[in-house]
Structure 1
Amino acid sequence: MLRFFFWFLLVVNAAVLAFNLGWLGNWPLEAHEPERLKQQHHVTQLKQVPASVALAPVAPPPAEKKDEIIACLEIGNFLQSDAPKIEEKLKTLALGDRQSRLNVSDSASYMVFIPSQGSKDGADKKVAELRRINVTDFFVIQDAGPLRWGISLGVFKTEEAAKQHLAALNAKGVHTARIMPRTVTTNKFSYQLRALNSDEKAKVDALKADFPTQEVRNCQNTAYGKN
């Protein structure tokens, strides 16, 4: 029995030696590194890289650039009769809840006027004279008081603006007009346009050309009533 194990171990050791020396040929499951490289496809295209390069962190792809928010603007102040026109223009911006309408009290402190004509007939006669010299921006004052049947030719925030208007009327031939301090509060409205990007701001600038007398200003931290 011992003789059997002796010869068995001798045969096994001889087989292992022959395998390691390659006397038994290349087996399909050969795992030596040089032989495995020979069996790979496109071996000539393999490229060695330094370990520092192989282990370097991969930079993430650049983030998609978003439109930068650059402005919050208010445009106004408009009369109520202007609402349909301006709102039709603002629809093209498609701002949704970034657009709101604000109530504004617009005060004027100086009035250019023609004193009372004493009666409706006198006021009508003066109106006809104004029309003949192409003065059409006026209204007849009918409220009770010393100015009843007088004619307002405009109200202005500053005395300088009132003086300029009076000079223009004088040049047309209106010589009975005067200036008086008077605060008249007019209910107007403006629109606040929030979180505008550069493209949207450019569209607002273009829209402003349709309303040359209106002011475009940066949003203020002022209490307004919203509609």
Structure 2
Amino acid sequence: MLRFFFWFLLVVNAVVLAFNFGLLGNWPLETREPEKLKQQHHVNQLRQVPASVALAPVAPPPEKKDEITACLEIGNFLQTEVPKFEAKLKDLALGDRQSRLNVSDSATHMVYIPSQGSKEGADRKVSELKRINVTDFFVIQDQGPLRWGISLGVFKTEEGAKQHLNALIAKGVHTAKIMPRTVTTNKFSYQLRALNIDEKAKFDALKAEFPAQEVRNCQNAAYGKN
């Protein structure tokens, strides 16, 4: 019996020794951590991370808020231009964030064609203007020396009046003249407030349909509401 235990212990020790020297291969369930690490792919790309960093909650990205345009003003519109602009403005649906303002616009020089003597004479001159594609005018009907004359535009400066006269001459208008005349015209502008990004884009598209109108900051305006 003693001999049996002697040989049994000898065999067990031999097996343990062979396992420690790796003569029996690596058993999957007994692989040590260093051996497991060697078996990983891209070991050189692994790095240690402090526990405080690894356990820290991931902060959500900050929400992007819509940029708001505080206040814009566009103008100044003649009374005849108001219906067209207001019809387009309805698409923005701004409600009480829009308002119309009265603007007094003064000019000091007028380009005009002298009196034609009668309504019939003025009508004939109007027909001539239309044939050469001059459409921005009105017949003067006030009592006085200019009655039945034709206004071709009023301007704040003499230089502006001269430029317009030269453009008319190039079209074939040869009887037009310039005269000093202070004219106050009632016009309209519109204030649009608190526009978000989408509304501002729609406004820019609307503005493109009225290239002659100026857009300005509302803080520079001091007109009365209508």
Tell me how far apart the structure 2 counterparts of residues 85 and 132 of structure 1 sit (CA, whole Å). 25
Listed as ranges, the matches of 1:51-200 within 5 Å are: 53=52, 64-200=63-199
Q: Cα–Cα, structure 1 residues 189 and 113, in superposed 2: closer, same or farther, change >3 Å?
A: same
Q: TM-score, normalised by structure 2?
A: 0.66
Residue aligning to 1:201: 200
Tell me how far apart the structure 1 counterparts of residues 183 and 124 of structure 2 sit (CA, whole Å). 26
The percentage of aligned residue pairs carrying the same residue is: 81
- Contact map agreement 1:112 1:177 (CA 8 A) in 2: yes
Tell me how far apart the structure 2 counterparts of residues 153 and 77 of structure 1 sit (CA, whole Å). 18
Deviation for aligned residue 1:166: 0.8
Number of residue pairs the alignment of both structures matches: 177
Give the partner amino acid of 1:96.
Answer: G
Tell me how far apart the structure 1 counterparts of residues 98 and 215 of structure 2 sit (CA, whole Å). 14
Tell me how far apart the structure 1 counterparts of residues 169 and 120 of structure 2 sit (CA, whole Å). 24
Tell me how far apart the structure 1 counterparts of residues 161 and 219 of structure 2 sit (CA, whole Å). 28
Deviation for aligned residue 1:73: 0.8
Tell me how far apart the structure 2 counterparts of residues 189 and 226 of structure 1 sit (CA, whole Å). 10
Tell me how far apart the structure 2 counterparts of residues 209 and 179 of structure 1 sit (CA, whole Å). 31
Flag structure 2 segments of 5+ consecutive residues without an equivalent. 1-49
Tell me how far apart the structure 1 counterparts of residues 93 and 119 of structure 2 sit (CA, whole Å). 50
Tell me how far apart the structure 2 counterparts of residues 63 and 130 of structure 1 sit (CA, whole Å). 62
1:50-106 Cα offsets, whole Å, 9 max, x none, are 9x949x997975653322323421112122333333223222223222211111112
Tell me how far apart the structure 1 counterparts of residues 133 and 58 of structure 2 sit (CA, whole Å). 74
1:85 counterpart SS class: helix
Tell me how far apart the structure 1 counterparts of residues 198 and 132 of structure 2 sit (CA, whole Å). 46
- Contact map agreement 1:166 1:178 (CA 8 A) in 2: yes
State the superposition RMSD in angstroms. 2.9
Flag structure 1 segments of 5+ consecutive residues without an equivalent. 1-49
Residue aligning to 1:216: 215
2:108 counterpart SS class: strand
Q: Cα–Cα, structure 1 residues 82 and 119, in superposed 2: closer, same or farther, change >3 Å?
A: closer
Q: TM-score, normalised by structure 1?
A: 0.65
Residue aligning to 1:37: none
Tell me how far apart the structure 2 counterparts of residues 84 and 137 of structure 1 sit (CA, whole Å). 18
- Contact map agreement 2:69 2:193 (CA 8 A) in 1: no
Q: Cα–Cα, structure 1 residues 145 and 86, in superposed 2: closer, same or farther, change >3 Å?
A: same
Tell me how far apart the structure 2 counterparts of residues 95 and 131 of structure 1 sit (CA, whole Å). 39
1:153-182 Cα offsets, whole Å, 9 max, x none, are 111222222112111221222222110121
Tell me how far apart the structure 2 counterparts of residues 212 and 201 of structure 1 sit (CA, whole Å). 16
